[in-house]
Structure 1
Amino acid sequence: MTTNIAHPYSPAKRFGNQIYVSGALSVDRDYQPVDGRREALDAAMERMTERLATVGGEIKDLVKLTYFVTDLSLREEANQQFIDHFLEAGPARTFVEASALPYGATVEIDAIAIVDEE
């Protein structure tokens, strides 16, 4: 995988059966911030699952997510997002307020997943 100077890290890294997903922002594919509360949460989730898939992971493999948000009142929408995406026992989650995020995003999600060995 090639990285560029602006992003000198792996979007996701697999080590054995563990996957570590770098923070995925509430931006579109052109790095423009997504407006709207739930729309921003959904965009960050979509970017995170895209990164997860690059190394063979799926949403069902997630065991831990960390949400960084610029507005702590997004918690209720994030809880609803969890209900919508994780029907059974969902992954663990941490929810943290940050003063600012890159590209004007309002949400960033990083994740850890465990997959079956190949």
Structure 2
Amino acid sequence: MEERHRLKVLDGLRAIAILLVMGYHYFVRWTPPVAPDNFYPYGGFGAHFWLFEYGDLGVQIFFVISGFVISMTLFRCRTIGHFFWKRFARLFPTMLICSVFSFFILNLL
């Protein structure tokens, strides 16, 4: 088994991004509206924790981290074909299982 190198800084950024997205969804969905125009359909911001208004920033952080990690993986592979084969072997089984499951569930509805 090959040794995995993890950058703890990226794990910390992922944690921050997770908190931003979760906080955003919590405050938009589960808090009463504060703004007079009630812009948000199920809730709003105001006297709540202001940082969670930037949940979209968490999504952008995830995209940047994903691009960085994928490029690091690509540079570690012997060939581009080896990289794509590893990605395919990792992602395809899950995609296939979810697709078959969804097909059967949707046909029951």
Q: Who wins on radius of gyration, i.e. which is larger? A: 2
TM-score tier by shorter-chain length is under 0.3
TM-score (normalised: structure 1): 0.23
Q: Which has the higher contact order (CA 8 A, sep 6+)?
A: 1
Instruction: Compare the two structures and name the one with the higher strand fraction.
Output: 1
